[in-house]
Structure 1
Amino acid sequence: MTGRDGGADIAPLGPFDPVIILVRPQLAVNIGTTARAMANGGLFHLRLVAPRDGWPQERAWFASSGADRILEEAKVFDTVDEAVADLHRVFATCPRPRHIIKPLLTARGAATELRAVSQRRLKAGILFGPERAGLDNEDMARADTLIRYPLNPDFMSLNLAQAVLVMAYEWYLTHDQTPERSLMTNETHVATKGEVTNFVNHLVHDLEKTGFLRNEQKKPGMVRNIRHLFARGEVTEQELRTLHGVVRALAHGRQDQ
């Protein structure tokens, strides 16, 4: 096909990672953006059931932002039964209430269960329905578990790629070790308590010289407040060096007057 540049170096992370199954997808662009969403979450295996306009479709590659290999490796089936025949577990997204009795999970709950299935070396897939109507009752009859995202009940409209991205994101988080909170320090580092103490001593020394701490009764509390100020946050070594310079400049400025 024309219009491809090789794309990103995407490969399967594990043979038992979940399979994304698009049932009767209608637009090539949506298939491409789905591949892009999958790549963001570390998913690789894509299956298409009876795509309306056939497969392959050039516009999918243009919309995939380099997730070319996912599209190149995508498998096409005529029916849902054929698409899930080799799987051990089948999940299905279900945005609207249905008169069906099945286990119902959130995206996070489904991701946790999918990870457990994968660790047992079993294969699982997730069904996503056509853009306009979603999965019908016959499609969902092939699934053993339903997934419904807890979204704003007054507006629960997701396009196909967004729906896949939510699931891919939750899947990725089940093994991601990124701290929930961190501090970007670039070329510096978070100051040690010793470095903070050294700066506070420098500051207090110059405040004494300027007469700011001349009230001996209030001095201990004022010094403690200064220490609390610098102890409660993650001050960096670079910031302390800058503040040392500020204190020196202020002290010298007073001496020159």
Structure 2
Amino acid sequence: MKNFGLHDLRVVRPRDGWPNPAAVATSSHAADLLEAARLYDSVEAAIADLDRVYAATARTRFMHKPFVTSKQVAGDICSGLVPAALAAAAAAAAAGDTDADAAAAAARSPRAGLMFGRESSGLTNEEVALANKVLTIEANPVYPVLNLAQAIVCVSYELFHARAYGTEGTDAAAGAASTLPAASSPPLPSTTGLGGDRGSAGNQQPASTSGAIAAASPSAAAASVGSAGPAVASSAEELRRRAAGAAAQQQLQPAPRGELDNFVRRLVGALDESGFFESADKRPATELSIRNLAAKVEGLTRGEVALLHGMLSKLTAASEATAARRRADKAARAEAAAAAAVVAEAVGGRGGDAGATAAADGR
């Protein structure tokens, strides 16, 4: 990591404890990186402050996940995160934002994380699902698996090379970042890294049971990509082939804007029925914010929009069932109270009659 400018190491649940004497003993002049490493109990906590996370894996996964190669990752970070950060900073400056926290958040460099898994088994499906994109290192498809140290070196070198030389070193033959139906999958002022379950040979890396993250703050460079295929066989060819064929499958076709708009209308209607819009005056602005939020979502497939509809249907059905139970309980309580009142009145009436009879007998 230190060879190529990565300095923010985040370790998740170290298998062999921390600090790891074996890692310190073999770290040479990089002990400061280990001393500054941050420990986390979960991957979710380790990536919480990052703007984008890449999961490094050589295996195909049964999930819809965009992927990039190690040569494309620097350009993908800078072309995707930097423009958004610059736009946010410019908007804050133009608005004359006096909120110091908001201004600082808008002005800070975006941070990307590189997540590496265990030496023995890599990342789990659940951990890959937490990432925004899959990162794959192209290798001989007969044996594409690298150990943890090798994987980190390959990716770290590409980031360093992009910082030093700009876009001419990017993977022009790899093609633009693709979206997998089932993925396996600039100057950089500061970067972060996180180790795996077991380290490289000789246990030189810190141990972790939940994978590793490397976060980077990029500043410039865009990927230079073309459409030509690689000159030799590559482990990423299968990923590209599956990505190219994904559009032929109905559930993986990009969702038209109208389908997402239909979902938003359903969502707004369900929120209305639940009493979400408490203020009639604020409702138009709140509804507009919801629609603006939905407009920022890009790349959803028809299958994913259908999944959103299914989740909303279950939530509304559960809410309606709960409301029906509450109405039934309320009606039952009211009926019981009415019956109790009738019984009390009947008992009171009999008591009055007995009192009147006793008075008559006294006379």
* TM-score relative to the length of structure 2: 0.38
The answer to whether the 8 Å contact 1:128/1:160 transfers is yes
- Name the aligned partner's letter for residue 70 of structure 1: L
Distance (whole Å) between structure 1 residues aligned to residue 165 and residue 133 of structure 2 = 27
More divergent stretch after superposition (57-66 vs 129-138): 57-66
- Would the aligned equivalents of 1:87 and 1:123 in 2 still touch at CA under 8 Å? yes
Q: Please give the alpha-carbon distance, in whole angstroms, between the structure 1 residues aligned to 2:111 and 2:22.
A: 30
Tell me how far 1:114 sits from its aligned partner. 2.6
Moved over 3 A (4+): 115-120
Residues 28-54 of structure 1, C-alpha deviations (whole Å, 9 max, x = no match)? xxxxxxxxxx11111111000011111
More helix by share: 2
Q: Counterpart in 2 of 1:168?
A: 156
Query: 1:177, 1:76 → 2: CA distance?
Result: 33
In structure 1, the partner of 2:55 is: 92
* Aligned 8 A contact 1:111 1:167 in 2: no
2:17 corresponds in structure 1 to 54
Aligned mate of 1:71, from 4, 23, 34: 34
- The answer on whether the counterparts of 1:91 and 1:125 sit within 8 Å (CA) in structure 2 is yes
Structure 2 stretches of 5 or more lacking a match? 86-108, 169-363
CA–CA distance in structure 2, aligned partners of residues 47 and 75 of structure 1:
5
SS in 2 for 1:146: strand
| Runs of 5+ unmatched residues, structure 1 | 1-37, 181-257
Aligned pair 1:101/2:93, yes or no?
no
Where does 1:94-243 land on structure 2 (aligned, <5 Å)?
A: 94-116=57-79, 117=81, 120=85, 121-177=109-165
The separation in 1 between residues aligned to 2:147 and 2:53, in whole angstroms, is: 21
Give the letter aligned to residue 157 of structure 2. Y
* Pairwise CA distance, 1:115: 3.9
Task: Decide whether the 8 Å contact of 1:102 with 1:144 is kept in 2.
Answer: yes
Q: Aligned AA for 2:118? A: P
Alpha carbons 1:115, 1:171 under 8 Å: kept: no
Taking structure 1 as the reference length, what is the TM-score of the superposition?
A: 0.52
1:144 CA drift (Å): 0.6
Greater displacement, 72-81 / 55-64: 55-64
Q: Alpha carbon RMSD of aligned pairs, Å? A: 1.8
- Partners of 1:75 and 1:90 in 2: CA distance: 17
SS in 2 for 1:91: strand
* Bigger Cα Rg: 2
